[in-house]
Amino acid sequence: MPQAESQTRSPGLYLDFLRGIFVKVGALPFLLVVLVVLFSAANKYFLGMQNLVDMLHEGVFTALAALGQLFVLISGGFDLSIGANIALTSITSATVMSSMYSAYPHDPALAIAAGVIAVLIVGILVGLVNGIGVAYLEVNPFIVTLATASAFQGVTLLISQGQEVGGLPDAFVHGVGSGNWLGIPVAALIALPLILALYVLLSRARYGRYIFAIGSSPGAARVAGIRVPVQILLTYIICGLAAAIAGFLLTARVSAGEPLLGTEYTLTSITAAVIGGASLRGGEGSVGGTLLGVVFVIFLSNGMDLMGLSANHEMIALGAALIFAVVIDRQRARAVAAGFRKRLAVDSVRDPEDSGPGAAHP
């Protein structure tokens, strides 16, 4: 009889164990293993050192955009203007650097510094526009960021007249765009302290606790004394700055300011953040999970390139990955709810036993 009970319980225990792993880490680690095995078998250069460095270089831009998106998702919103922000930053910073470099050709550092200032101004302004619309005007984030994406793209085309902006300093193009230090891309070395700062801000600072609370329940956050509009505005500014810096580094990579640069990063950033554990309902997400999501997106794109598939196939795969990520997010939420209900049921069964006549009392 005990043997029969153990055989009956084992499938349930096994399912509970799998559910526990799924709730904690999601499907992403397993998907990464599948991608590595699949693409390594398809092309022996996939895990080659040069290809890994190339993927690291490309991953820098996606990581910054995705981390900015992560902050907004945790707060309960999302940003559809990231791609337009990248293009606007690219054109604005390239225009400023090109003008300064033409005026002071023997001082490229001055031109690059002017470009950095332009990047910060664009990032903050983009964040302010989005944040004021969402936090103070209380318009739905989808409407606000969809409208600003169109507006920012229009401003970009007005500034550039639809043409790319060249004449950038060699120190910027070759030093930042394609430079390496000890085999590590300079862009990655620039992005690393920024990523660490975002991690500390989200995981160690009071601000991080605030936006998790806001994303989980804005009403409860207000009751707790959190200035919700201020924190949401700050979140969109952080997202705007992260995307602007990604646009600046991407401009160095392509050696010119381009008016249509970064259009794919809106979808890519949402996909990486959501597949990395961020919830579209708000209140969930982590820097580490999002970076794993970035690894997944870069592996998928690079592996398909090595297999000779076109960019059209990559967009189809990325769209499918986003749908899959949303489905996984819902399944994880259901698994968490099922586990919570099960614990409540177990507690309700135990409580009468503990309070029964035979219960021991101190």
CB burial readout 170-194, b (16+ within 10 A) else e: ebbbeebbebeeeeebbbbebbeeb
Instruction: Note the pTM of the prediction, 2 decimals.
Output: 0.85
Counting Cβ atoms within 10 Å, is residue 67 exposed (0-12), middle (13-18) or buried (19+)? buried
Query: Taking Cα atoms as reference points, which of 213, 209, 268, 207 lies closest to residue 233?
Result: 207
Token pair, residue 289, equals: 């999970």
Nearest by Cα to 247 from 69, 83, 18, 33: 83
In whole angstroms, give the CA distance from residue 186 to residue 223: 46
53 — phi, psi (to 5°)? -65, -40
Residues forming beta bridges with residue 257, ordered by sequence position: 165
| pLDDT tens-digit readout, 16-58 | 665 655 555 567 777 888 888 988 888 888 888 888 998 998 8
The three-state secondary structure class of 48 is coil
Could you read off the pLDDT of 119-150 as tens digits, one per residue? 999 999 999 999 999 999 999 999 999 999 99
The predicted structure's pLDDT at residue 24: 58
Q: Can you tell me the distance from the alpha carbon of 131 to that of 239, in angstroms, rounded to the nearest whole number?
A: 10
What integer pLDDT is reported at residue 34 of this predicted model? 85
Low-confidence ranges of the chain (pLDDT < 70): 1-26, 329, 332-362
The CA distance from 319 to 275, in Å, is 12
Nearest-CA neighbor of 247 among 98, 56, 115?
115
Yes or no: say if 84 and 152 are a contact pair by the CB < 8 Å rule: yes
Q: In 10 A of CB 349, how many CB atoms?
A: 9
